[in-house]
Structure formats: C-alpha cells, structure tokens
Amino acid sequence: MSSEPAGGKPWQAIRTEAIEGILNELGIIDSGKVDEVVHHYEEKVGPKTGARVVAKAWTDPEFKQRLLANGLDACAELGIGGPETELLHVVENTPAVHNVVVCTLCSCYPWPVLGLPPAWYKSSAYRSRMVREPRKVLAEMGLALGPEVELKVWDSISEIRYLVLPERPAGTGHLSEAELATLVTRDAMIGVAKVVFP
Amino acid sequence: VSGAPIELLSRASADRTVSPEELVFETPWSARLFGLTLALIRAGHFSVHEFQQSMITEIRAYEVMGCIDSNATYYERWIEALLALLRRKGTIADGALAAMEARVRAATPPRHTHDHDHHHAPQPIAVSR
C-alpha cells in the first residue's frame, strides 16, 4: 500500500491538496468548510449515533413505529441527520427475518447515522459476494443463520440508505436506554452481526 | 477478482488498530478528500447523486482488472471520481491539476520515510518559504 516517494508525501495527498488548492483559488470552497466536515465526522458522528437511534427504538414503541415509517424524520427528532442523506429506510430484524445492507455499485452508507463505513464494506469482495452468497459471507463474518431465518439483502442504490434495527437481546429488560446503546455495534446496524448481551 | 474471504478483510482492519470503530480515517488525505467532497455537496456545487454516479463509473472501470481491498484503494477511486466530476463540470481545466500538484510538491518539505502514514499526524497544508 505504500506509494510514498522517499522524502515526500504520497501522491494521494499531493493530488487531494492540489484539488483543494484549485477550488480555493477559484473561490468555490474555503478550507474552513472542509475542516468543519472533517471535524464533524471525526468527533461528532459515528456508530454511537446510530446506537442511540436503536436504543430509543427498543425502549419507545411509538418512536420505533415512526422510525420504521420514516427513518430521517425520526432521527431528526434526536437531532441526527444531515444533507448527505435523502431517504433512510430502517429494516427490522426479527427471529424470522434477518436484514443485511450492501452497496453493490459503490459504497453508499448512511453517513449521518453511522459515520464512515469500514474498509470491508467498500471492498469488491463484500459488495459482490453479499449478493451471490450472503449466508456464506455472514457465516465467514461470524454470523451463522439457521435455515429457518429468511435473509433479506438490501442494496443501497439511488437515494435510499438503509439502517438495520437489530433484535434486542434477551435478558436486557432491566437496562436503561443509555446502557442499551452501549451494546449496539456498527456491524449489527449493517446486519453482519447480532447485538449480544454478555 | 473479488472472491476474497470477507473474514480476512475484517480481521485485517481490526489488526491495524485497537479500536477500529473509533478510527474514522486512516490517513490525513482521505479525511481531507471526504471533507472536501461533502463541502462541495453542501455548497451545491454538485449533488450526492452526481458524485455517486461518478464513483460508480470509476469503481466499475477499476474492477474490470483490479480489486478494492483496502481503504487506500477505495479512496484512490474517490480521488479519481471527484476529479472526473470536476472536469466534467468544467471546474478543473486540463493542465490545472498538474500545475497545482507541482506547486504542492515544491511547497512540501522532505520528511522521514516510514512506509506508513501516521494516523492523524498534524501536517501543514502548505509551507511557504
């Protein structure tokens, strides 16, 4: 992966700086706006954002109904959202149905709710194999589904982004919403894992 | 081309850091690239959909022969997709990129040569002498 010339920056850094430099000089963008976005995604948004949504849905049935009806509007109630997502479709896991999300053509992902996707989500292997042999891929990632479970694979194409609402694990009746949120992982909200309670 | 076990990919990414969920960008340039693209979208220079189409075209062309198997190979496609879109819109003219890259290189001091990027190591955006 190293393409860094001796004593210099990698070509990717040079090219990115050059693009930003041109746009700066043209007055199209100012670096402060870029800083804002980077700061927002490094500090404010990530899997914990989505975990708040899931925990709220687990503890508030009316919120859950609103979330399943219109994901973005429900997230906005929690102050979550951004201009980068136009439609958020929330799909609910049950004992009979498991949902998993992929973007076959590129790497679409609900950025304002989950932050940036992991490397494997963007990989050629995941994007092609999750459609061809989803059960096998899930098993390789540590999630073995019984044959009785219906598996739905959602392709993030066009303007729609998906968020998986995982099953609330058994034995968590006594936990608060905030405690529940700490159990929810990024992988569970993509659908390649279940939420577990130790 | 794309038949690699996913397990290897997720394990590889977990190995690189104690907390993979906390590391948003592996390199400063990928953070900058993402921020730049979203800033352009927020400013209305192009839409999410337009950028997505450019990514699809770029990734499809790349995957004829190659394979996206890391954050680096992915964000390299992103650079090319952003450039292609800005060229199509007439924002970046032919020749402008090479000229600006030369200026960036000239302004970049030599630094020590590890074979990896430091995570979020502070770097000057430009150096004037």
For residue A46, which residues of chain B lie inside 8 Å, CB to CB? 21-22, 24
Q: How far is CA A34 from CA A23, A81, B77, B79, in A?
A: 11, 18, 20, 15
| pLDDT in the model for residue A2 | 46
| pLDDT in the model for residue B109 | 73
Q: In A56-196, at which residue ranges do the beta strands (DSSP E only) sit? A: 87-92, 97-102, 150-155, 160-165
Q: Does A197 touch chain B (CB under 8 A)?
A: no
CA distance A189 to A92: 10
The answer to whether A84 contacts B48, with C-beta atoms less than 8 Å apart, is yes
Mean of all residue pLDDT scores within chain B: 80
Residue A183 has pLDDT above 90, yes or no: yes
B32, B97, B116 member nearest A38 (Cβ) = B32
Phi-psi region of A171 (alpha: psi -120 to 50; beta: other; left: phi over 0): left
A86, A108, A123 member nearest B69 (Cβ) = A123
| Among candidate residues A129, A67, A71, the one with its CA nearest the CA of residue B5 | A129
User: Which two tokens mark B78?
Assistant: 């992103």
Phi, psi dihedral angles at A92 (to 5 degrees): -100, 130
Distance of CA B11 to the CA centre of its chain: 22
Sign, CA torsion B15/A50/A105/A126: positive
Enumerate residues 85 to 104 of chain A having a beta carbon within 8 A of any beta carbon in chain B: 86
The answer to whether B43 contacts A10, with C-beta atoms less than 8 Å apart, is no
- Which of A24, A25, A31, A34 should we substitute to test contact with B (largest number of B Cβ atoms within 10 Å)? A34
pLDDT of B54-91, one tens digit each? 999 999 999 999 999 999 999 999 999 999 999 999 99
Q: How far is the alpha carbon of A189 from chain B, nearest alpha carbon, in Å?
A: 13
The answer to whether B113 contacts A47, with C-beta atoms less than 8 Å apart, is no
Q: Mean per-residue pLDDT for B6-28?
A: 55
pLDDT of A130-166, one tens digit each? 999 999 999 999 999 999 999 999 999 778 999 999 9
Q: Does A128 touch chain B (CB under 8 A)?
A: yes
Can you tell me the ipTM of this complex?
0.89
Helix orientation angle between A47-59 and A61-69, rounded to the nearest 10 degrees: 120
Q: Does B4 touch chain A (CB under 8 A)?
A: yes
Residue A187 has pLDDT above 90, yes or no: yes
Q: Is B70 helix (H, G, I), strand (E, B) or coil?
A: coil
Closest residue in A to B38 (Cα) is A37
Q: Is A152 helix (H, G, I), strand (E, B) or coil?
A: strand
Identify the DSSP state of A98: E
Q: Does A144 touch chain B (CB under 8 A)?
A: no
| pLDDT in the model for residue B124 | 63
